[in-house]
Amino acid sequence: MSINNLTNTLFSKVFNNTVIRNEIFQKVYSVNKQWAVYPRPTKVHRYNQLLVTPKALIGNDYLDLLIQYHQKQGFTPDANEIAQCFVWAVSYQRLGILQYLCGWVSKGIDEEIREILLECRLMSTAAGQSNIEMLEWMYQNNALEIFQCSSVDYRMLPGLPNGFNTMKWIRSNLHLELEESVVGSAAGSGNLEVLSWVLENYEGEQPIDWAEVATSVVIGEHVHILEWINQHHRPSDEQLANVRILVYNMCGNKRSDTIDWIHKNWTAVNFNHNYDYVAKDGSLELIRWIHENLSETNTKPVFTVDAMTNAAQYNSLEVCEFLLNNRTEGCNGWTVHNAAINGRKAIVDLILSKGFDRVGLFSFTVEETQRRGYPEIADLLKAYL
C-alpha cells in the first residue's frame, strides 16, 4: 500500500470514529506533510479547518457536526450559503442532511431563499442521479415548494444506471410529458425496451424525425437500433439526404459498424465529404473503412495532406503509418512541425524515413521544439534545414 493510500485509510478511520472525530473537532490540530526533500518548504494541511467547512461536513455525512456548526454562537448564513448547503446535500446524495436542512430553514424561510432554492434545480439534480429514494421524499415533503422537475430532465436518463426506473417514476408521479428529444436519447441508449416505453408515452403533436433520431443512435454505435428503426420507422430518402450531421457523428466512433450499415442500407445518406478532421482522433478501423469504401466513389477528396498533419499532432503512430503506406497525399513540413513541437518522436522518425515535402519546415520549428524540451527531436530536424 502506498503512503498516500495508507494516509487516506488511517484518516478515514479516525474521522469516522465519532468519539475521536468530535474530540478533534473541538481542538486545533495541524498535520505537516513533507512533499519534497529539504530545502523546499513543508506544506501544512490543517485538517480541522477542512473538517469544519459545511461542504466537508455534508460530503462526509457528518450530520451531528453540521448541526453543531449551525448552532455555534454568531453563525448567521446568508441565502446563498443556505442554498449551497442544499446543493451539496443533493449532489452528495445525503438524504438525512437534506431532511435536516428543510426542517432548519422552514422556521424562517423567506421568498428570497425560496427563489434561490428553486433556481438550484434540486429535484432535477436528484433525477439526474437516478436517486428515486430522494425524489420520493422530495415529492412527499414539498411544503416549501422548492422541489421541481421539468420535461427536460428526461433527456439524460435513458443511458444512466436506473435511469429507466427514474423515468417511469417521474411519469407516474409528476405526470410530465415526454418531448421529442427524449426519443433520440432513448434510441441513443441502445436499450430497445426504453425506446419502446418512450414511444408508448410520447404525446407530442409533431411527427418524430427518425433521421434525427438515427443521429443519436450512431454515436452509441447501436446497429440493432438502426435495424429496428429501418424496419418500423424508416426515414424517407429526402430526410436522410438532408441530415449531414449523421456522417459527422459517425466519424467520432471507434468502430465502423454503424457507418458500414448505413452506407449499405441507407444509400440516400450523403457520404461525399472530406474526412481530414477524422484523422485527428478517429480510430484506425474507422479510417481504414473510409479509405476502402469511399475513396473510389467520392468526388471530393476523402483525405488530403491535412489528414496526415492532423494525425501527426493528435493521433496514434498506427494511424500515421496507415495513411503514409496507403494514401498518396504524403505530408509536408507542417506535418513534421506539428509532430516535432509536441514531442512525438516516433512519428517524426516515421515521416523522416518516408520522406516529405519540406514546405512549412523552417528554422523556428527546430527552435520551438528545443524550447519545449525535445532536444533529441530538434537534432533530428537540423539535418533537413
* 358 found inside a domain: yes
Q: Within a domain: residue 292?
A: yes
3-state secondary structure 64-92: HHHHHHHHCCCCCCCHHHHHHHHHHHHHC
Is the bond into 39 cis (omega within 30 degrees of 0)?
A: yes
Residue 365, domain member (yes or no):
yes
In a structure prediction context, what are the per-residue pLDDT tens digits for the chain, which is 385 residues long?
A: 444 454 445 455 555 555 555 555 554 333 333 333 444 444 444 444 555 578 888 988 889 888 888 887 566 778 888 899 999 999 999 999 999 999 988 877 778 888 999 999 999 999 999 999 999 999 999 988 999 999 999 999 999 999 999 999 999 999 999 999 999 999 999 999 999 999 999 988 888 989 889 888 888 789 999 999 999 999 999 989 887 666 666 667 788 888 899 999 999 998 998 999 899 888 999 999 999 999 999 998 999 999 999 999 999 999 999 999 999 999 998 999 999 999 999 999 999 999 888 877 777 889 999 999 999 999 988 877 7
Residue 362 counted as domain residue: yes
Does the pTM exceed 0.95? no
- Domain coverage including residue 383: 272-385
In a domain, 314, yes or no: yes
Structural domain count of the chain = 1
- Distances, alpha carbon 129 to alpha carbons 87, 265, 266, in Å: 13, 38, 37
Q: Determine the Cα–Cα distance for residues 384 and 124; give it in Å rounded to an integer.
A: 60
364 inside domain: yes
What is the domain-level CATH number for residue 277?
A: 1.25.40.20
Q: Is residue 76 part of a domain?
A: no
In a domain, 204, yes or no: no
